[in-house]
Amino acid sequence: MSIFQNKKERVALASLGAAVFLTSAKFIVGIVTGSLGILSEAIHSLLDMVAAAVTFFSVRVSDRPADREHNYGHGKVENLSALFETLLLLVTSAWIIYEAMDRLISGNYFFEVTLWSYLIVITSIVVDLTRSRALKSAAIEFDSQALEADAMHFSTDIWSSSVVLLGLICSNFGIYQADSIAAIVVAFIIVYVSVKLGIKAVDVLMDKATDDYSYIISEELKGVPEITSVHNVKVRRAGADVFIDMVVHMDSSFSIDEAHRISHVFEDRLKSRINRCTVHIHQEPEE
């Protein structure tokens, strides 16, 4: 196992530990005080905990090399993980909105505001800020959608905890409805972020083409004048891995060895621009 994989696992494990701590603390304070805002945050953190566990599992599996049953490796485990986290967050949002609306309509929105209410929310913001930065940095370094999804979870927690904190402050002045309203705002923040994350995961799972790679291929082609044209380009992603298949045309006077050497030059140029890239090139003589 590489040092990079170890680092990915350490970041994911730290994320899981943070989620376990925040979930437990929020549930205790939410149940004791009766604050829907804090309880909604607790459920959000509970799903974050499940999502962090899935992320930890996915980063352990995703970098396994290809085998007979998985010719393209196991990278899409990360994308499946991100999609699973999205569905969990959407279910959470639906429950929070339903419960908050029920309290507002019934008028049963009173709860006890204590010092512990403020402590757990402020602690949550500090922990979420620290973990989201660490996860985002690791997600960029390893091009990991699973870590990116986890970072997004903690980032949305920062905003949602801030809204809950505002609701607590309003409740101190007798505006107890603010707690339920804060819960609804949290839910819509979660929905917005979840939909964006889900679309990105589905795009990768459906092998959607992106203009980014087409641009890189066109740019690097200029550095290999022996190749006259490229067509039938197909790009697919699996986690952090990128697979490119294409057909190149070159002068028919080139020998097999020369055509092979030229293709390797083009392949190396692409690999220098795209991390964890596998390129398959088929050569054809120029008509």
Range(s) of the chain covered by CATH 1.20.1510.10? 3-205
Q: Which tens digits make up the pLDDT trace of 78-133? A: 777 778 778 877 887 887 788 778 877 877 666 666 777 788 888 888 888 887 88
Reference 123, options 41, 191, 58; nearest CA is: 41
> pTM surpassing 0.75?
no
* CATH code given to domain 3-205: 1.20.1510.10
Buried b (16+ CB within 10 A) or exposed e, 81-104: bbbbbbebbbebbeebbebbeebb
Q: At what angle do helices 3-33 and 145-172 cross, to 10 degrees?
A: 20
Could you tell me which residues come within 8 angstroms of residue 199 by beta carbon, excluding any fewer than 6 positions away?
A: none
Q: At what angle do helices 36-62 and 177-205 cross, to 10 degrees?
A: 20
Q: Measured at the alpha carbon of residue 64, what is the angle toward residues 52 and 1, in degrees to the nearest 5?
A: 85
Tokens of 89: 């967050």
Q: Which tens digits make up the pLDDT trace of 189-202? A: 778 877 887 888 88
Length of the chain: 287
Q: Which tens digits make up the pLDDT trace of 209-239? A: 666 778 888 888 888 889 888 888 888 877 6
Reference 72, options 200, 273, 271, 237; nearest CA is: 237
Q: Over pLDDT 70: what percentage of the chain?
A: 82
Range(s) of the chain covered by CATH 3.30.70.1350? 211-285
Residue 207's region, left for phi above 0, alpha for psi from -120 to 50, else beta, is: left
Judged by DSSP in three states, 176 sits in coil
**CATH architecture classification, 211-285:** 2-Layer Sandwich (3.30)
pLDDT for the residue numbered 75: 67
